[in-house]
Amino acid sequence: MNSDLSHLHPYPFEKLAELKKGVLANSEFNHIALSIGEPKHSPPTFVLKELARSVNKIARYPLTQGTTELRQSIADWLVRRFKLPINSLNIEQNILPVNGTREALFAFAQAMVERSDRALICMPNPFYQIYEGAALLSGAEAYYYNTTAETGYLPDFTSIDDNTWRRCQIIYICTPGNPTGTVISKPQMQWLINKAEEFDFIVASDECYSEIYFDESCPPCGLLEAAADMGNSDYKRCIVFHSLSKRSNLPGLRSGFVAGDAKIIQAFLKYRTYHGCAMPEHHQHASICAWNDEQHVLENRSLYQQKFSHALEVLSPHIDVKRPDGGFYLWARTPVDSAEFAKKLFAAKNITVLPGQYLSRTAHGIDPGEKHIRMALVTSPEETLEAAMRIKDFLQTL
């Protein structure tokens, strides 16, 4: 058996189940889960209709590369959303549909890492757990760059030394970040792209939360946008990961894409042809409808904006928490150990939150997830407000 499997950490939700084991929740309240980052707003009906209408396509094997129509709608969306130079994306070369970003983020490392005992993959800390699993199973070492309160939960790429950059083959960035919600700025991305050129590595930008933000006048910058803006309009060394899961409330559709550097995308396509993970054709049809429409995304975002305003109004006087730049998580500092906080909150108020240290590792002498909790504001506005009120009451008992 592959011995690297034994290096995988238990998933955060396993740790959470262990933490809650034997704890009796206050049955005066219904349970509210703020722990899982699964979108709960309604999926767009026109997408569901298209999915049903095209279900007969299930009688055919889909192509790994996806249909031309899907890749075209993705290219058009990228150009519109990130103001990319028209025709800078060739739909044969630069775009590949994937079955959600989770599998793609994982598979990407398997396809790209040049196996050697010096191989290194950099990732944020705290982080979406797939980056680490991807690194470990590709035979690379994981290097964690911390995102702490001291830097406004942003990475400080300048703190990474040249020896690390020399070994780095891929750096995962996550913007807006899970769990911190911070957005990496265009100058920061451009600094990183220059480093990638200098030290020959790939910048892999997980942008699956890019469409959930709070300032309509300032959507999060994307890596391709940053690249094009500095004259790198063939997106050399840059790859982005996007998804319909959060943007369009379609987590079960398993629909996303990777885009960027043609050489990298073509190598990834070769890998995926063997991997055998093509998106079912009726999912591709439904995805085209979703990428072609912005109205439902605007409505979705406005629901999050409303929920964050209400929750923060209740919570921010009582706990150290701010409105994130994007995404649907609140990343709050707890006055006590966060696992203890989560356990007591569950017992007292029947609310589940995720302790921050379940998403982080100790690196460079600190654990940036300590004394933090992640709250996913995915449920209805009413339930979100109810959860915030209960947490406020709980905080007053600490």
* Pairing assessment for the beta strands 238-243 and 202-206 based on DSSP bridges: parallel
Between 206 and 261, name the residue whose CB sits nearer to ligand PLP: 206
Distance, CA of 56 to CA of 257 (rounded, Å): 23
Element of type H or E holding 80: helix 68-82
Bridge partners (DSSP) of residue 95 are 259
Residue type, 338: S
CA atoms within 13 Å, Cβ hemisphere of 177: 27
Between 245 and 300, name the residue whose CB sits nearer to ligand PLP: 245
Q: How far is the CB of 26 from ligand PLP (least distance, A)?
A: 28
Distance, CA of 266 to CA of 154 (rounded, Å): 32
Tokens of 66: 């996806």
Distance, CA of 130 to CA of 172 (rounded, Å): 10
Q: How far is the CB of 118 from ligand PLP (least distance, A)?
A: 27
Between 37 and 222, name the residue whose CB sits nearer to ligand PLP: 37
Residue 71: which of 257, 295, 234 has the closest Cα?
257
Q: How far is the CB of 324 from ligand PLP (least distance, A)?
A: 13
Between 138 and 245, name the residue whose CB sits nearer to ligand PLP: 245
Q: How far is the CB of 128 from ligand PLP (least distance, A)?
A: 4
Q: How far is the CB of 93 from ligand PLP (least distance, A)?
A: 23
Helix, coil or strand: residue 266 = helix
201, 169 contact by CB (below 8 A) = yes
Between 100 and 220, name the residue whose CB sits nearer to ligand PLP: 100
Between 291 and 394, name the residue whose CB sits nearer to ligand PLP: 291
Q: How far is the CB of 126 from ligand PLP (least distance, A)?
A: 11
Residue type, 250: L
225, 65 contact by CB (below 8 A) = no
Between 351 and 376, name the residue whose CB sits nearer to ligand PLP: 376
Distance, CA of 278 to CA of 299 (rounded, Å): 30
Q: Which residues contact 29 (CB under 8 A, 6 or more apart)?
A: 349, 350, 351, 390
Q: Provide the binding-site residues for ligand PLP, judged by CB under 6 A.
A: 37, 100-102, 128, 174, 178, 206, 208, 243, 245, 251, 256
Q: How far is the CB of 334 from ligand PLP (least distance, A)?
A: 21
